[in-house]
Amino acid sequence: MRARTLKPIHAAAALAVLLLAGCNTVEGIGKDIQKAGEAIENAGEKGKK
């Protein structure tokens, strides 16, 4: 029997579905990206001190 491998296009599609399911709207995606940016910014500020 041959092992099945996940093709890159299938992996990308699965990832997209998971991301879109988590943020049902474009507004939700924007808020998620904004929160991630704020977390990175806060981590950078803590690193300066």
Regarding pTM above 0.75, the answer is: no
Q: 3-30: per-residue pLDDT in tens?
A: 566 688 888 888 888 777 766 666 777 8
Q: What is the DSSP string of the chain?
A: -PPP---HHHHHHHHHHHHHHHS-SHHHHHHHHHHHHHHHHHHHHHHH-
Predicted confidence at residue 47, as pLDDT, reads 73
